[in-house]
Chains A and B, each alone.
Chain A
């Protein structure tokens, strides 16, 4: 199916004089994981409320599976919301219901017969790894377990789209990884389209295949995650968001950087390799072929959007045009950040 699950077209939303969303357009293909990132006040929450049909934009269209939700009457909205699963930052589980009861609620709302519910609840509990916890109360669970219940509940009615609102922001790093892995697994196995809204670049770049960067209600970046990570032309906002998770030149060295190459000194370069190239023993090759020394100062190889991705700050002795040409075969966007003169 090549139809987009979500099409946002020229959406604007104002609150009094404040522009929360300004001519926002993007689309999400089926099975994609879209990350929407921005600082607080960038318009993420407004966008989320519009996507979830909790709020109507002042202008523009939002199509979910081809259906314009901005013009739907109330009755249509109620049906549509059952096609969208929501995962919340603070879980929003009912304390008056058990884990199984919480997962049962969307089924009850959708009118699933009482007799059919237990089996579906058991399937969902198994999917999120909580089969043994159905009879517990939410207050007896850890944060990560609560979010698993939140995810199971969001999946109850086989939604076309999963909207995650800062779903890992209230969790510790280890639990965040586990929840992201679960979301990636659900995406793979069920082919479910997911939109992740967050302010944490680190969260999003691991599993999001596409990124939308919002700033002051406008989209400043909209591209595949890998392309944004490697792009030479990033907006200031994107750079600021990325800098939290990207390797930097160590401060002590940064103070000694000069623009011109110095004899006997080193060049400091930034190299990014996506996909299989990330596994190349590039620095060893450099040593063998040119007899220079290359050292990784910062960075390493991680996974972005499910692919290996190397992002490193490297120092190279005797840097010259041939070495530069050799390296740019692998990373066309390679940047020479400066040179460090020899110590004496």
Chain B
């Protein structure tokens, strides 16, 4: 009996909602445009959805039986832990700037988001028609970007900042006068921000401040106590995964069709990234964009077993890798395939030493490249041709003949079987 009453109530609510049509008239002095009729559909999902718009300041668990609507900027703060069950779908509302829906785990607080290959935790847009129990919707694809913000973890591990400050405000979040919620960076390399496992982040990257789109996954000074593996980022406006300093290790990272760079490293990130794939889209910039320390604090990363898949004949450009400013680290077992070669209106995608600082690091041996395999793009005869020292001050281009080789069958690169669970694998028929 109780159940029947419920259904009845639900039906009337839906009817009421459906009849709540209003015409929105936009008046402009020259003309009156009736922008088409808008139907306000208020889904009555009392039992299947929760909306989160306030900061999380006590321990909270999001369960897979409810879609979590992320509304606006939500901080996990004051030492709270946010636990997310496997299979949970988080849909974020649209908006940019202050209105961008972002989940930010602040220093000293934690996220415990442990998905599984069968039931990953999905962060997507409220516009996605995915429902509970599914791993993908049908109405969006990898070119739908910027529909919400992203996931940001801020930690206490060291990061190297301009002007040698110990911590910094994450881009786009204004300073709050009564706290330090937006800060990242500290002195605890072993800092623990929790666990991210089997997470799929889709269609994000809304603008948070001028020229500052949010990355799919932003890791600000996250320490080694944190576990990060099996992460997928699809169709983000900015970078796929960006490491701002910190020392966390990350395994099995997958980025597809990002608007800017696939993997981005800055501020003396000193962890290891093992097994990563970047699949470039039409507007993607670099598959790898690597910067070094900004301040006097030094730190070098390791990137090993990565596969970078480009777009052939992309007139918009799109590069393999850009080593910039003061980049320091080791890049080992990298497979490069499918990038744009030489031809009409085409510019060869390359691996670049961008300036004198990074060129000096290369010569000094603090930037190391080993075991690169290149599936040669059109019109290119030697693997070393895709390596370019813009300063022409090092032996980089000559050395490339040694540290890289042209292949048709790869022997290095990522173990792609680790990504068979991803949305991208199915959507793009990657065959992983």
Query: Is the A/B pair a real complex?
Result: no
Q: Which residues of A approach B to under 8 Å, CB–CB? A: none
Q: Which residues of B approach A to under 8 Å, CB–CB? A: none
